[in-house]
Amino acid sequence: MFLDLNDPGLLRQQALINGAWLDADNQQTLDVINPSSGQVIAAVARCGTLETRKAIAAAEAAQLTWKQYSARQRGDLLRSWFESMLEHIDDLAKILTAEQGKPLAEAKGEIAYGAGYIEWFAEEAKRIYGDTIAAPDSDKRIVCIKQPVGVVACITPWNFPNAMLTRKLAPALAAGCSVVCKPANATPLSAYAIAELACRVGIPDGVINILTGVTSEIGAEMTSNPKVRKLSFTGSTEVGKQLIEQCAGTVKRTSMELGGNAPFIVFDDADLAEAVKGAIVSKFRNAGQTCVCTNRLLVQETVYDEFVQLFQKAVAELTIGDGFDEGISIGPLIDAGAAADVRGFIDDAIAKGATSISDQTITEGMPETFVAPVILTGATPDMRVFSDEIFGPVAPVFSFKDESEAIALANDTTVGLACYFYTRDIGRIWRVAEALEYGIVGINEGLISNPMAPFGGVKESGQGREGSKYGMDDYLEIKYMCMGGINS
């Protein structure tokens, strides 16, 4: 596939190490494939242990200088980077759609969203405050300051290849840290493109290093190298647990944004039209491939049939196809394996008594990466769609009798990232929001992510928060300084 970019220099295929674009030491490459067509669109450097070690060493050296930049200097550079991303939004969106598959309009939305984190933390760089604390006696003074944690390793997923990286890079750089990043092998081009822009605006060599390749080797070096003081990971709970274990050997700080199983609760007093709108954006954005995506729709039995009818009508209006085509709502899943997994969820539910409602079909000749949006009515807790993260355009609808049952069903999971509920009862809003065991709660709202809010989960959905004023804390250490001899 030929990408008609206004700035072809954004399509980078080498690793960025210490300000230089480099091939892998062994000259090996890995293909980047457009999931809509199956066409190879790039061949990027396939790096491993040696290249990762070099990147970490470069980051360590660069961080010594970068942390000496004033907060205003770091903020000004981040601001320039943000402006450059918006200036190149069309090209960045084309690259994203080509490697990930989401509709072009949705890709542009991701670029703006991802750039928003850089803008936010450009401003937060100037708001790293310390404290003075009342001393135990008059001869002492107690002061606390915050300093950058050091070299940060970042591992990001394929579903939001721009935004998942910027919301780690931006606070790290704002705090005075340098970074070594490993984007998903399926979608490295977006990471390389924004890194190219970072270089252009003057972010010093070695502050940002990005490489893809042998995941096991890169990950092992990141988690074992003592020069890395923090690891930030977005991905599955299973992999996150493994990385936490691996980081224990050098007692690294970790931030983990892991799997979800988001319930979407519709009470009988809800505005059903608004609930349907929220369910559509929450369930089907990025073809259902988001960590905060609605996984289970829980609808009160008195409005179940009415909601399903309205929901079916809205889902029927979604369009499936290549992300570069006009008017497309849902693109492909990331690869054929992911699509097969999603079809497995549908088969399991139907075998256990659910009814599949789908008003669209996959046209002949479409790659096997495409899955038509499906509503599953009559869903029950013994089905995989209740307990496992679907990551596809499948919407199972469960029924419940009352508020206590809705809360029990929603909390019946080992993870707790995002949840949603619709009601017009102010008392219920407080009761349910406080009872739900999730880090993020959308109340009468299906689109909840923004740079100003703390993003993260509880239970096995991870630790730490990204975005907001709290997002800088994971990249800073608190240093206590006790000054004695004041009265001497």
Distance CA 454, CA 271 (A): 27
Q: Of 99, 257, 389, 403, which is the active-site residue?
A: 257
Q: Which candidate, 51, 14, 49, places its Cα nearest to that of 32?
A: 14
β-pairing, 40-45 vs 29-33, is antiparallel
**For helices 426-435 and 403-411, what crossing angle results, to 10°?**
30
Distance CA 392, CA 283 (A): 9
Q: List C-alpha distances in Å: 52 to 17, 117, 224, 332.
A: 9, 26, 11, 32
The angle formed by the CA atoms of residues 101, 107 and 108, to the nearest 5 degrees, is 155
437 is catalytic: no
Beta bridge partners of 47: 213
Q: Of 47, 177, 291, 293, which is the active-site residue?
A: 291
154 is catalytic: no
Distance CA 303, CA 461 (A): 31
Decide: helix, strand or coil at residue 408: helix
Beta bridge partners of 263: 296
Distance CA 364, CA 349 (A): 25
Task: Using the Cα atoms of residue 47, residue 48, residue 51 and residue 54 in order, give the sign of their dihedral.
Answer: positive
H or E element, residue 229: strand 228-234
Catalytically annotated residues: 257, 291
